[in-house]
């Protein structure tokens, strides 16, 4: 006699149902059924994936270190790597007091660390909030939901160089905020927070006790002589010894053109990093030894970073003026995106602009509304598009020429 099998619903974390499709999945759906016009090669400005060549010395160091695959890596990372990161922080930001033993932790790229960090610091009590800019890097939203909190979005303000207005937040909201994500230089706007912005944020953190997670993965791509201000640097200037309730996230992906190596670090408040290290020990967040060796070599060298930055300066100095003839767009503070408004050109939405540009000229851009959420009555990404100038200069210039032709046809 056979008994009937038990039938019940597959046990799944119900918080997963709150996650939205990633912007590139939405883009795929937008382009479904569209065949680009013949005669144009495909050019993508849609994905922010660095496409300059990886420096040879990084690849050589990685290959020469493959013997490290025979050993389990420590979650804390090697002393060599943490010292290399500390050395870079001293040279780049003047952080002479940074302690590589307690205030630096290597991670497998800033993306996984930004997500995991929320799981380690959020107390999922009813009403817990994670604040983030809007538009934003979608990891912030997913991290909030899966940590048992809700996101609270702060809209970027074009009148404030796309910085959010923290004074617009109702006073009753702040006590519920446990974690605040900041992206400076910003994705997609390229805006950099000022020392006054940081002073305001630190005062709010002191008053309400929330942790600040500063995403700084675009810090080394900038167009002015003065490098962007970092959060730890701002804290030091303001006399905040030990970086209370502040952790920064950095990465080699954009700086050194190694997105496939998945290498970055977190640095800041030692007490928070001690808890995050405990979390990561269980999470399995140790970096591969060959990647650690190659990462140390990358953090110790600045020549390849300067050469990489020069390529971006050359691209943006040529492409931006071309697009300004037809679009509302400006050179950003930093980063490798142009954040262009399209509705002043014609009565056209950001999604229709992207779809028609792809169909008629085989150029891909990302609708700004896909990078933001409806908050406080508006979607601040609507009617804008993000263009990632990650390819070599000739390809970016060809894309710009096609966009100019398309925009003139619209107008």
Mean pLDDT of 165-190: 96
Q: What is the mean pLDDT of the chain?
A: 96
Residue 108 is assigned to a structural domain of this protein: yes
Q: Give the closest residue to 216 by CA, choosing from 309, 339, 93.
A: 93
φ and ψ at 266, to 5 degrees? -120, 150
Last residue of a domain, one of 271, 301, 331: 301
Token digits of residue 141: 């939203």
Question: What pLDDT digit, counting tens, does each position of 44-55 carry?
Answer: 999 999 999 999
Residues 141 and 245 in one domain: yes
Mean pLDDT of 351-371: 98
pLDDT over 70 for what percent of the chain? 99
Residue 6 is assigned to a structural domain of this protein: no
Q: What is the pLDDT of residue 3?
A: 61
Question: What pLDDT digit, counting tens, does each position of 220-268 carry?
Answer: 999 988 999 999 999 999 999 999 999 999 999 999 999 999 999 999 9
pLDDT-based confidence at residue 5 (cuts at 50, 70, 90): low
Residue 211 is assigned to a structural domain of this protein: yes
Helix axes 289-299, 79-93, angle to 10 degrees: 20
What is the full DSSP assignment across 220-236? T-BSSSSPPPPHHHHHH
pLDDT at 317 over 60: yes
What is the full DSSP assignment across 178-238? EEEEEESS-TTT-----HHHHHHHHHHHHHH--EEEEE-TTTT-BSSSSPPPPHHHHHHHT
Strand partners, 179: 130, 211
pLDDT-based confidence at residue 345 (cuts at 50, 70, 90): confident
Residues 286 and 391 in one domain: no
Least trusted range by pLDDT, from 5-14, 19-28, 110-119, 205-214: 5-14
Q: What is the pLDDT of residue 163?
A: 87
Q: What's the CATH number where 352 sits?
A: 3.90.1150.10
Last residue of a domain, one of 301, 319, 334: 301
Q: What is the pLDDT of residue 225?
A: 86
**pTM assigned to the model:** 0.96
Residue 395 is assigned to a structural domain of this protein: yes
pLDDT at 28 over 90: yes
Last residue of a domain, one of 242, 266, 301: 301
Q: What is the pLDDT of residue 9?
A: 79
Residue 12 is assigned to a structural domain of this protein: no
pLDDT-based confidence at residue 347 (cuts at 50, 70, 90): confident
Residues 75 and 118 in one domain: yes
pLDDT-based confidence at residue 344 (cuts at 50, 70, 90): confident
pLDDT-based confidence at residue 4 (cuts at 50, 70, 90): low
Mean pLDDT of 59-66: 98
Q: What's the CATH number where 290 sits?
A: 3.40.640.10
Residues 286 and 379 in one domain: no
Residues 289 and 400 in one domain: no
Residue 277 is assigned to a structural domain of this protein: yes
Residues 48 and 190 in one domain: no
Domain interval for residue 385:
17-53+304-410
Residue 187 is assigned to a structural domain of this protein: yes
Residues 297 and 309 in one domain: no
More confident residue, 161 or 107: 107
Residues 140 and 249 in one domain: yes
Residue 247 to residues 76, 298, 376: CA-CA distances in angstroms? 16, 22, 28
Q: Taken in order 306, 229, 375, 120, is the CA torsion positive or negative?
A: positive
Residues 33 and 61 in one domain: no
pLDDT at 1 over 60: no
Residues 313 and 250 in one domain: no
Residue 363 to residues 89, 296, 313: CA-CA distances in angstroms? 38, 37, 22
Residues 209 and 155 in one domain: yes
Residues 67 and 99 in one domain: yes
Q: What is the pLDDT of residue 160?
A: 86
What is the number of structural domains in the chain?
2
Q: How far is the C-alpha of 215 from the C-alpha of 204, rounded, in Å?
A: 18
Q: What is the pLDDT of residue 182?
A: 97
Question: What pLDDT digit, counting tens, does each position of 143-170 carry?
Answer: 999 999 999 999 999 988 898 899 999 9
Q: How far is the C-alpha of 231 from the C-alpha of 99, rounded, in Å?
A: 16
pLDDT over 90 for what percent of the chain? 93
Residue 367 is assigned to a structural domain of this protein: yes
């Amino acid at each position: 006699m056979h008994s009937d099998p038990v039938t019940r619903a597959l046990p799944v974390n119900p918080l997963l149902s709150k996650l939205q499709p990633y912007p590139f999945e939405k883009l795929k759906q937008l382009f479904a059924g569209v065949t680009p016009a013949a005669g144009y090669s495909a050019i993508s400005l849609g994905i922010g994936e660095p496409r300059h060549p990886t420096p040879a010395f990084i690849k050589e160091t990685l290959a020469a270190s493959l013997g490290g695959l025979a050993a389990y890596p420590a979650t804390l990372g090697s002393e060599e790597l943490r010292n290399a990161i500390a050395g870079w922080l001293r040279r780049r930001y003047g952080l002479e007091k940074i302690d590589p033993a307690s205030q630096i932790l290597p991670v497998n790229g800033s993306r996984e660390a930004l997500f995991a960090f929320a799981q380690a610091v959020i107390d999922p009590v009813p009403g817990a909030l994670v604040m983030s800019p809007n538009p934003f890097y979608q990891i912030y939203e997913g991290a909030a939901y899966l940590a048992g909190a809700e996101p609270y979005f702060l809209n970027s303000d074009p009148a404030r160089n796309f910085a959010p207005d923290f004074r617009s937040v109702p006073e009753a909201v702040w006590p519920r905020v446990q974690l605040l994500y900041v992206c400076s230089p910003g994705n997609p706007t390229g805006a950099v927070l000022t020392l006054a912005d940081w002073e305001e944020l630190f005062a709010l953190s002191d008053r309400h006790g929330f942790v600040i997670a500063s995403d700084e993965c675009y810090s080394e791509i900038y167009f002015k002589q003065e490098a962007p201000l970092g959060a730890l640097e701002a804290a030091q200037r303001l006399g905040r010894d030990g970086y209370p309730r502040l952790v920064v996230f950095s990465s080699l992906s954009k700086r050194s053109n190694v997105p496939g190596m998945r290498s970055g670090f977190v640095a800041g408040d030692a007490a928070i990093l001690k808890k995050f290290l405990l979390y990561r020990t269980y999470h399995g967040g140790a970096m591969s030894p060959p990647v650690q060796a190659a990462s140390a070599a990358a953090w110790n060298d600045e020549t390849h970073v300067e050469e990489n930055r020069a390529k971006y300066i050359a691209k943006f100095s040529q492409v931006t003026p071309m697009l300004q003839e037809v679009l509302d767009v400006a050179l950003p503070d930093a980063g490798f995106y142009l954040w262009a408004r399209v509705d002043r050109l014609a009565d056209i939405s950001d999604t229709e602009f992207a779809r028609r540009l792809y169909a008629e000229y085989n150029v891909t851009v990302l609708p700004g509304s896909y990078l933001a959420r409806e908050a406080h009555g508006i979607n601040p990404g609507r009617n804008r598009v993000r263009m990632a100038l990650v390819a070599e200069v000739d390809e970016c210039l060809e894309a710009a020429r096609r966009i100019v032709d398309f925009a003139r046809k619209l107008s």
